[in-house]
Amino acid sequence: MIDQPAGRRDEPLRILWGPEAEREENMADVSYVSRVRVEPVKGRIRRAYIPVREDPVFFGVHDEVAEHYGVEPGAEEPHPSTLDYMVAAAGG
């Protein structure tokens, strides 16, 4: 379950699963709130500030996924897609 106030991208995004997701009404049970900030840069490029890293992480598209989004290959500076990070996180 993803819990984020509507229209408030500057608020921390809380992702709850397991017993915490089922007991949403008792927020004292939340064990971790990830403090991540995401900012648009240009086109499909976004800058994310994540815990432990001082430098931001950039997301965007690269040739393999650009076509899916209707972007001509080479039209934007290539960056890993959010899908690339999700697959890496699931594999780790």
- Report which secondary-structure segment, H or E, holds 57: strand 57-59
**Domain identity same for 90 and 70:** yes
**Amino acid 74: pLDDT:** 82
What order do you get walking across the sheet with 45-49 strand by strand? 37-42, 45-49, 57-59
**Domain identity same for 72 and 90:** yes
**Domain identity same for 45 and 89:** yes
Domain tally for the chain? 2
| Amino acid occupying residue 51 | P
**Amino acid 1: pLDDT:** 44
**Amino acid 7: pLDDT:** 52
Contact 17, 3 (CB under 8 A): no
**Domain identity same for 17 and 48:** no
**Domain identity same for 45 and 31:** no
**Amino acid 53: pLDDT:** 92
Range of the domain at 82: 36-92
Q: Is residue 17's pLDDT more than 90?
A: no
**Domain identity same for 1 and 40:** no
**Amino acid 73: pLDDT:** 80
**Domain identity same for 41 and 18:** no
* Interval 31-90: pLDDT, tens: 888 889 999 999 889 999 999 999 999 999 998 888 888 888 888 899 999 999 899 989
